[in-house]
A and B are shown apart, each in its own frame.
Chain A
Amino acid sequence: MTTESPSKPAVKKIGMIQALNMALHEAMSKDERVIVLGEDVADPEEGGIVGVTKGLSTAYGDLRCRSTPISEQAIVGAAIGAAIVGMKPIAEIMLMNFTTVAMDMIVNHAAKLRFMSGGQTGVPLVIRTATGAGLSVGGQHADYYEAWFAHTPGIKVVMASTPADAYGLLLSAIDDPDPVIFVENTLLYFSQGEPPEPGKRVPLSVANVVKPGSDVSLVCYGSHVAPSLAAAGKLEAEGISVEVIDLRTISPWDRKTVLASVAKTGRAVITHEAVKPFGVGAEISSVIHEELFDKLKGPVQRVGAPYCPVPYSKPLEVAFMQGAEAIEAAVRKTLQARAAA
């Protein structure tokens, strides 16, 4: 990541997969209620397809880290059942598209059991799932559904952009008494970053102002944090000061930080990898308009993928994925509104 200061002493960077694995070890070693369920998660099956769960079954036993049948409903259902009697399950749904197979369990049960029981049965469940375009896997292995889950009362949705955040957010998600969908980006698996401080939590629903600025507020998360910082860096050279806010938790999101920033800058862009129509950007943009209409210097802009399934062919996939250029253009658009006025 680009956030480190050059004056800092050199620290050994760690990868995203390692950070997630460290968080799981930390949680399982400290609390025997924490269990892991999912396809291929145990060591005989190689500790997960990219190795996030490596070593867990060896360290904490086959009962606490168990490879499952390819049965997403049964995986999430088992995790819910165990959660309501006091375990703290982490269900791995290998890819976010596969959560669709378990939608009844997630939406009708995990999200609602606390409310429908009048608070008697909470579901302290974490669903770890990965997704993202860029690996040429076509239309059923790369979708982002955070808006669906954010639209379901009772579920929290988290996405980390750095290894240290992933570590701290995953620990907070495991600590949390409610169901959390923890979304990992497949390209970011191969990124490096500052190592986390052992045991240090990153609180949920608290955004991170990654780069302060005064002209435009740029709200992003997950895979769009790096291109947002790249765009902000380029604009900075032209004297345009962009405040970059990494939401970290999509729902419930940190309205306070975002609204305070936009109240200061008067301009906002929201960017995400998911398709733009009916996305998270639409909700945040609406809240900004509802709360800060008289402070806005121009209409809020959104960046998101075009309205089509994730394509396979490389040039199409490249065109589908919005990056620093699209974000930069959106920021410039908010400034044009000022110029016109």
Chain B
Amino acid sequence: MSSAPIPDRAILVDMYRKMTTIKQNDEKSRAIILSGKIPMVYYSPRGQECIPAAVSVNLTPEDNICTIYRGTHDMIAKGVPLKDLWAELAGRATGTCKGKGGPMHITHPASGVLVTTGIVGSSLPIANGVALASQIRGDKRVAVAYFGDAASNIGAFHEALNMAAVWKLPVIFVCQNNRYGEHTKYEKTTAAKQIADRGAAYSMPGVRVDGNDPVAMYNVAKTAIDRARAGEGPTLIEAMTFRFYGHVFGDADKYMDPGEKKAAMAADPVPRYRQWLIDNGHITAGELETMEKQIDAELTEAIEAAIDAPWPEVSELRKDVFAEEIAA
């Protein structure tokens, strides 16, 4: 674990709660897809739990995030209620988006999840606009754009970083570098030695951090968020991590070096952090077990409720295209 300042116990425990919820949610997602009960396209965030957990404990409920298709960890960390989330994954009327968005488009403004995009790189320009509104209003909110390493090669990334820097927008760009863009390795597609270096091109701090180290990640996120909130402008964070279950769930990972994956899974950030919390006396194993059981029960309940929930009415096709319903 990092030698950076260690946050309060409550924050440490909150981070673990988020991380283990994401991990358990992932386990249940994969199981339910295999069971055939909820068929869905699924981009597993397993292995990347720590990043949004450490970011979110630094955010207020009023701060907003824009995330991407591999984003259930970001949504859960920001506080999207599991019941609403699961009903949406199942395409049900009771979902966050009435079943009209699905796994790649979860939106829940009440918990600050404003956009989930299925387009690589598109979270950044929109997060800028959310931050722009805060800058104009002076409401001291910040916006976070989550994206992957491959997004740093698309034009939207560069346009957004430049605009955010030139306007000093209260936005934080959090790149979750899991080392593969779809099936292709980072080195084959990206000329920058590290994505953090791209911050310098836009006169903003670019920070590389071990995204699987909760204490290090917490401190880097806190500095960036404090800076944005103080009106000092954006930061580019490159959080190093690894995705355990490929690009889309079901892909065979043949493009991946098995040794690389094995090593990453052996360094699984969730059990590692669990052990660290216990070893350093922040919480007992018994307390963690109670927490984990409670999360398991909450997830089970959310999934069962989703399966039992009603499908949306076909008339929904005419609703929400525009504010005014389209005539039948």
B133 adjacent to chain A (CB < 8 Å) = yes
Given A69-B163, A115-B320, 7 additional A-B pairs, CB 8 A: A76-B125, A84-B129, A85-B134, A115-B321, A120-B96, A120-B109, A121-B114
A121 touches B130 (CB 8 A): no
With A and B bound together, what is the CA distance between A72 and B156 in angstroms?
9
Of B14-22, B116-124, B188-196, the stretch lying at the interface with chain A is: B116-124
Partner of A63, one of B64, B125, B135, B159: B135
Q: Which residues from A are CB-within-8-Å of B109?
A: 84, 117, 120-121
Contact residues on B (Cβ < 8 Å of other chain), bracket: 35 or more
Q: Is the CB of A117 within 8 A of B105?
A: yes
**CB of A79 within 8 Å of the partner chain:** yes
A81–B66 CB distance below 8 A: yes
Q: Is B85 interfacial (CB 8 A cutoff)?
A: no
Pair B136/A114 contact, Cβ less than 8 Å: no
Interface flag for B98 (CB, 8 Å): yes
Report A-chain residues with C-beta under 8 Å of the C-beta of B96: 117-118, 120
User: What are 25 A-B contacts with C-beta separation under 8 Å?
Assistant: A69-B162, A73-B160, A74-B159, A74-B163, A77-B122, A77-B156, A81-B115, A81-B131, A81-B143, A82-B129, A82-B130, A84-B115, A84-B129, A85-B133, A109-B117, A113-B107, A115-B320, A116-B100, A116-B107, A117-B97, A118-B96, A118-B101, A118-B107, A121-B107, A122-B323
* Most chain A CB neighbours (cut-off 10 Å) among B117, B156, B159: B159
Known: A81-B126, A108-B122. A118 touches B322 (CB 8 A): no
Chain B residues near A (Cβ < 8 Å): 64, 66, 95-102, 105, 107-109, 114-115, 117-119, 122, 124-136, 143, 155-156, 159-160, 162-163, 166-167, 319-323, 326
Chain B residue contacts of A77, Cβ below 8 A? 122, 124-126, 128-129, 156, 159-160
A154 to B144, CA, bound (A): 26
- Tell me whether B114 and A87 are in contact (CB under 8 A): no
Specify which chain A residues have a CB less than 8 angstroms from the CB of B124 in the assembled complex.
77
Q: Mark A150-175, 1 if CB is under 8 A from B, else 0.
A: 00011010000000000000000000
Q: Are B100 and A82 in contact (CB under 8 A)?
A: no
Say yes or no: is A283 at the interface (Cβ < 8 Å to chain B): no
* A43-62 contact mask (Cβ, 8 Å, vs B): 1 or 0: 00000000000000000000
Given A69-B166, A108-B122, A115-B100 contact (CB < 8 Å):
yes
- B contact residues around A35 at 8 Å (CB): 136
A81 and B98 in contact, given A71-B159, A74-B156, A108-B117 (Cβ under 8 angstroms): no
| A118-B96, A121-B109 known; A109+B115 contact, CB < 8 A | yes
Contact of A73 among B97, B118, B155 (CB under 8 A): B155
User: Across the interface, do B101 and A73 meet the contact criterion of CB distance under 8 Å?
Assistant: no
User: How distant is B21 from chain A, measured CB to nearest CB, in Å?
Assistant: 23
The distance in angstroms between the C-alpha atoms of A76 and B155, with both chains bound, is 14
Report A65-107 CB contacts with B as 1/0, cut-off 8 Å. Answer: 0101101111011111111111101000000000000001100
The answer to whether residues A119 and B126 also contact, given A69-B166, A71-B162, A85-B114 and a CB cut-off of 8 A, is: no
* B322 contact set on A, CB distance < 8 A: 114, 154, 156, 177-178, 252
Q: Please name the 9 residue pairs, one residue from A and one from B, whose CB atoms are nearest each other, closest first.
A: A81-B129, A77-B125, A118-B98, A117-B107, A118-B97, A74-B159, A71-B159, A78-B129, A177-B323
Partner of A104, one of B127, B156, B167: B156
A224 at the interface (CB under 8 A from B): no
Given contacts A85-B114, A115-B100, A116-B100, contact A74 B130 (CB under 8 A): no
The answer to the question of A267 belonging to the interface, with a C-beta cut-off of 8 Å to chain B, is no
| Least CB separation from B116: chain A residue | A116
Docked CA distance A310–B84 (Å)? 51
Q: Closest A residue to B100 by CB, please name it.
A: A118
Task: Verify A84–B323 contact, CB threshold 8 A.
Answer: no
User: Cβ of B320: which chain A residues have Cβ within 8 Å of it?
Assistant: 114-115, 117-119
Q: Please indicate the chain B residues that have their CB under 8 angstroms from the CB of A116 in the complex.
A: 97, 100-102, 105, 107
CB pair A86–B107 under 8 Å, yes or no, is no
* Smallest CB gap from B139: residue in A: A85
Q: Which residue of A lies closest to B125 (CB)?
A: A77
Residues of B within 8 A of A89 (CB): 129
Complex: how many Å from CA A122 to CA B127?
15
Which of A66, A115, A121 is within 8 Å of B115, CB to CB?
Answer: A121
A201 at the interface (CB under 8 A from B): no
Please give the distance in Å from B261's CB to the nearest CB on chain A.
Answer: 32
Report the Cα distance A79→B125, complex, angstroms.
9
Beyond A118-B107, A120-B108, is A83–B95 a contact (Cβ under 8 Å)? no
* CA of A71 to CA of B154, assembled, Å: 13
A114 and B321 contact, CB distance less than 8 A: yes
How far apart are the CA atoms of A156 and B125 in the complex, in Å? 22
Determine whether A128 belongs to the interface, using a CB cutoff of 8 Å to chain B.
no
Closest Cβ of chain B to A53, distance in Å, is 17
For the complex, is A64 an interface residue (Cβ under 8 Å from B)? yes
- For the complex, give the distance between the alpha carbons of A177 and B324 in Å: 9
Cα A291 to Cα B230 in complex, Å, equals: 61
| Complex contact B98–A74 (CB within 8 A) | no
* Cα separation A119 to B143 with both chains bound (whole Å): 21
- Among B126, B167, B326, the one with the most A-chain Cβ atoms within 10 Å of its Cβ is B126
